[in-house]
Amino acid sequence: MQSNKTLWWNRPEQFVWLMVIALLCLTGMAQGAAEPPPPYIIHSLPNDARVTIYSEYLQDTNGDLTIHQVSNGPIADRFQPATRFVERLGIQQNPWWVRLAIKNEFREQQTFSLQLRGNPNASLFVPNDNGVGYQLADNRARIPGRDASFRIHLPVGEEQLFYIKLQPRGYLTYGLSLSTLNEHLASNQRQDNLYMLMAGALATLIIYNLIAAIMRGGSTYYYQAGFLLCITLISLLLADFLPYSLTDGNQLQSRLLFPLMLIAMAAAAGVTRCYFRLQRSKGWLDYCTRTLLIVPLLCLPLAFLLPLPLAAYLCFSLVSIAALLLIAMGYTTWHREQNGGGLFFITTLFVCLPALVLGQAYLGLLQTSAELPQWLMASTIVEALTLGIGLRVRVSHQAQLRIEQQRSEAVAETVESTRRETLARIGHDIRTPLSGILGMSEILADTPLTPNQKECVGAIQHAGDNLLRIINDVLEHSHLSTDSSDVNQASLDVHDLLMEAIDLFKERAEEKQIELITHVHTNVPPRVLGDAGRLRQVLTNLTGALIRHGTPGELIIDVSLEPTGQADRVRFGFSGSALSEEALKRLQNSQRQNESSHLSLVIAEQLVEALHGRMGNLQDQRGTHYWFVIPLPADQSAPPRAPNVDTSCLEGRSLLVVDDSSTVTRVLRHHALSWGMRVTACHDPREALASLRTQANINEPYDVVVLDQQMPGMDGMQLAARIHEDPVIIHPTVLVMLTGIQQAPSATMARNVGIHRVLSKPVSAPRLRQVLAEELSTGPTPKAETVDARPSPDLRILVAEDHYLSQKVIRGMLGKLGLKADIASDGQEALALAEKNRYDLILMDCEMPEMDGFEATRRIRQHEQRHALPSTPIVALTAHILKEHKDRSFAAGMNDHLPKPVELNVLRETILRFTNSDGTGSDSPLASGEMLD
């Protein structure tokens, strides 16, 4: 009987299962060996063939893979194929593996050169001789050079698989090429020659910039030399020009590369700052370049301390950002047509674009097969040449401008010196006859004259004073324009100084219907330290200019401490209805003003600046304000000024102020309250009369009434008469009238209506306080005994003066003082008289023919020293008023300096001072022949 069993091949399902099992076994056996990449097939002799795209790479994440693990097992399957001729893998820390298969189908066996660019510390693993496993290629296989190049032997018709271990330097990049040994050596020689040629060009440019910096000066060349040096070293390091023995197994190349990149950034920022002179500007260019200069220097220690990957991230990122900023700055300067902006933009593009590409490529963000170090060196050479030519042209242009500026300054200095000398000479020549005019008019005014004649003499004196003030202003402006004025610190009273300054403008203000109101606040010290002459000139020039351009109304001069808290700063403010914004604009607009108005304002501004102050104007709800602030520290050493009468009698007294101006009543009320008085203010005469009656009825009458002369409805004279005639007002009340100069009543008219005192407006607080105290003090007022001090008629005086009219003036003034004098017409005659006779005082003119007053004074002093004679006081009597002329007078041996025209009182005081036995006569240091410092 035949069996039911059949053979396995006769059953199809069993055959299928057997085939599946066989395939599984074959698959398991295949897992033990890695599938190699597609080989690069050599058909002819390769000539620097780029074989990177035939390679595959693998990241060693932990850095512990061995050649056995990489070449066998599952790890070998994780290799990724390369896609570019140069693979830039970005910032890396651990090693990478690369494998490359090569098959030689050439007709004979050859020894080839496998060159690895970008990683000189790489290791090559070749198959073992027995064909099993891999071994590290020995040192004889390495070809000397700046790249990692190896000799490899490729048998004909066989496929060889090579493994390469890459060592990152913070960044990782590699490129593979295959060539014969001869071609490899020739190619390397050509590359090295090219690098050396560009390095030599950069070295030449570095030396040129250093020589230019030493010879021409300027930081731009120093920064440029430093920048070129850093770029040269960076390019050579990136091209692996350090010897292999220095870089093998260490990180020296990267540790040098990253600090050089930061220093190059700082040098580029320094070139930009110096090229555009940004040190004197405060724009965004200054802030950007300053940031680019400081940040790299601050990050410099991090390049040494941080791990290589972090240092690489930091430096390549900063380089990219700096390149973008410099390109943006270059475009901005070119777009704004800044001087040299176009040239700077071109040079910026030449160096920043390669630097930007380099930074992005080594970060792994940009893939390029270009030889980046060559690009960087070539573009830097072009940039250095372009910038060098531009700097040379710019230096030549600046030198030409400097020569022109020096020539202009020399011409301006000569013109200024000539102008000052001319103005001084003109001023002297004008003041000399003017002193005669004013002197003779003063003498004439003391003679019996008719009212018409007195008015003519007063007009002459007033016109002469105005002309004298204009001459002084012109000379002062000429003196201040050289910026050589000195500030003389001396004790002064602000009240007195202010009243002296505005006394000249009372009549002019009344003519323009401008009421001058002064208010010195009580917080201003009684005496301060300052230059009284210059401060008086400021007040005079400003007051005159504001009155000249003012409108009818009030002009308030307010003096107080600076509200900012600086105790030594005093603020002088001009405001009021007379000062409008339009008038102030006209005054400040030099094109619409005549020379006198503009000169007054210019002189005031220069004087305030010379006094270390500031000036300005403002507009608010109160109106227009013009002000200046100068330092006037309190004089603590000055004793308090003792009043002529006891002012304590004002305390508790009642005062009625009658004035239609609210400003005047506010100022008077402020001062009276500070004196301890009880104050009531009325703006209408009828209201004041009613208040007087009310106080008389309740038996609390006013002690003092200060009333204005001009008031609507009833003037001051009528109000005084009504007060004097009113039967209710029986208490004796002191009436003080404030009035202008032109409207001032006569003394007889004032007495007839019961007015005790008439004061011209504006009146200072100390003056008003003294008048009220005098009128309210009990008993007879102790009048200060005034002694008209006169010099001794026996004095012998010598007057050296060449001008005939000036001789008459001095002789007439001395005659009024009861003195006679000898007259010398020149310095030689004065010297002869001084050597022949002994004089008590010599009045010496400085400008005389034959021998001037300075030389005559020196000769007199020499004669006195040779014969051991006591020094005769010599006073300069000259039309020169500037400080250098005073210093020259003192240096020649004179004791004092009196400018023409001299006033009679000043002359009398000078004679008394130098001829009084207990004064500063022969016993004074100056009179003893000592020179003033």
pTM of the predicted model as reported, rounded to 2 decimal places: 0.47
Conformation bin of residue 468: beta by default, left when phi > 0, alpha when psi is -120 to 50? alpha
In this predicted structure, what is the pLDDT of residue 469? 67
Return the bridge partners of 124, or none.
164
With 0-12 / 13-18 / 19 or more C-beta atoms within 10 angstroms meaning exposed / middle / buried, residue 582 is exposed
Q: Measuring CA to CA, how many Å separate 784 from each of 50, 336, 500, 596, 699? A: 118, 77, 22, 43, 35
DSSP E strand stretches across 733-865? 734-739, 757-760, 797-800, 821-824, 841-844
In this predicted structure, what is the pLDDT of residue 486? 59
Whether residue 419 is predicted with pLDDT greater than 70 in this model: the reply is no
In this predicted structure, what is the pLDDT of residue 643? 59
Whether residue 374 is predicted with pLDDT greater than 70 in this model: the reply is yes
CB 199 within 8 A of CB 236: yes
Residues 6+ away with beta carbon under 8 Å from 409: none
In this predicted structure, what is the pLDDT of residue 638? 64
Residue 445 C-beta-side C-alpha neighbours within 13 Å: 16
Mean pLDDT of the chain: 80
Smallest Cα–Cα separation from 899: which of 418, 430, 419?
430
What whole-number percentage of the chain has pLDDT above 90?
18
Q: What is the pLDDT of residues 643-671, one digit of tens each?
A: 566 778 888 999 999 998 889 999 999 99
CB 583 within 8 A of CB 549: yes
Whether residue 111 is predicted with pLDDT greater than 70 in this model: the reply is yes
**Dihedral angle, C-alpha 272, 274, 280, 282, nearest 10 °:** 10
Q: Which residue has the higher pLDDT, 577 or 424?
A: 577
Q: Which residue has the higher pLDDT, 646 or 887?
A: 887
Rounded to whole angstroms, how far apart are CA atoms 816 and 442? 11
Rounded to whole angstroms, how far apart are CA atoms 514 and 574? 13
What string of H, E and C letters represents the secondary structure of 525-588?
CCCEEECHHHHHHHHHHHHHHHHHCCCCEEEEEEEEECCCCCCCEEEEEEECCCCCHHHHHHHH
| Domains detected in the chain | 40-179 (2.60.40.2380), 218-484 (no CATH), 494-608+622-631 (3.30.565.10), 647-776 (3.40.50.2300), 797-915 (3.40.50.2300)
CB 22 within 8 A of CB 156: no
Q: What is the pLDDT of residues 377-401, one digit of tens each?
A: 999 999 888 888 877 777 777 778 8
Cα 377 vs. chain centroid, distance in angstroms? 41
Residue 156 C-beta-side C-alpha neighbours within 13 Å: 8
In this predicted structure, what is the pLDDT of residue 424? 67
In this predicted structure, what is the pLDDT of residue 881? 65
DSSP code of residue 648: G
Q: What is the pLDDT of residues 486-504, one digit of tens each?
A: 567 788 888 888 888 888 7
**Rg of the chain, C-alpha, whole Å:** 51
Average pLDDT over residues 92-98: 90
How large is the greatest C-alpha to C-alpha distance in the chain, in angstroms?
190
Rounded to whole angstroms, how far apart are CA atoms 695 and 682? 14
Rounded to whole angstroms, how far apart are CA atoms 469 and 601? 14
Query: Hunting for tokens 């110096």 — which residue is that?
Result: 274
Residues 6+ away with beta carbon under 8 Å from 393: none
Rounded to whole angstroms, how far apart are CA atoms 449 and 232? 100
Average pLDDT over residues 758-780: 81
Whether residue 98 is predicted with pLDDT greater than 90 in this model: the reply is yes
Rounded to whole angstroms, how far apart are CA atoms 234 and 261? 7
The full length of the chain comes to: 933
In this predicted structure, what is the pLDDT of residue 470? 67
Q: Hey, how many other C-beta atoms are within 10 angstroms of the C-beta on 186?
A: 14
Whether residue 706 is predicted with pLDDT greater than 90 in this model: the reply is yes
In this predicted structure, what is the pLDDT of residue 202? 92
Q: What is the pLDDT of residues 54-91, one digit of tens each?
A: 999 999 988 889 998 888 878 888 899 998 888 888 88
In this predicted structure, what is the pLDDT of residue 921? 40
What whole-number percentage of the chain has pLDDT above 70?
84
With 0-12 / 13-18 / 19 or more C-beta atoms within 10 angstroms meaning exposed / middle / buried, residue 31 is exposed
Rounded to whole angstroms, how far apart are CA atoms 169 and 167? 7
Rounded to whole angstroms, how far apart are CA atoms 403 and 416? 19
Whether residue 779 is predicted with pLDDT greater than 50 in this model: the reply is no
DSSP code of residue 469: H
In this predicted structure, what is the pLDDT of residue 777? 78
In this predicted structure, what is the pLDDT of residue 842? 92
Q: What is the pLDDT of residues 309-328, one digit of tens each?
A: 888 889 989 999 999 988 88
Residues 6+ away with beta carbon under 8 Å from 725: none
Least confident of 148-157, 633-642, 705-714: 633-642
When pLDDT is cut at 50, 70 and 90, the band that residue 161 belongs to is very high
When pLDDT is cut at 50, 70 and 90, the band that residue 32 belongs to is very low
Least confident of 585-594, 750-759, 763-772, 860-869: 585-594
Query: Hunting for tokens 């004035």 — which residue is that?
Result: 659
Rounded to whole angstroms, how far apart are CA atoms 515 and 547? 10
When pLDDT is cut at 50, 70 and 90, the band that residue 593 belongs to is very low
Q: Measuring CA to CA, how many Å separate 443 from each of 454, 790, 813? A: 12, 17, 7
DSSP code of residue 511: H
Whether residue 541 is predicted with pLDDT greater than 80 in this model: the reply is yes
Amino acid at 667: V
In this predicted structure, what is the pLDDT of residue 249? 45
Q: What is the pLDDT of residues 272-310, one digit of tens each?
A: 888 877 766 667 778 888 888 899 999 989 888 888 888
Helix axis angle, 252-276 to 219-238, nearest 10°: 150
Smallest Cα–Cα separation from 861: which of 929, 804, 915?
929
Least confident of 23-37, 167-181, 452-466, 719-733: 23-37
CB 805 within 8 A of CB 880: no
Q: Which residue has the higher pLDDT, 232 or 881?
A: 232
Whether residue 484 is predicted with pLDDT greater than 80 in this model: the reply is no
Least confident of 185-189, 198-202, 594-598, 636-640: 594-598
Average pLDDT over residues 196-204: 92
DSSP E strand stretches across 690-803? 704-708, 734-739, 757-760, 797-800
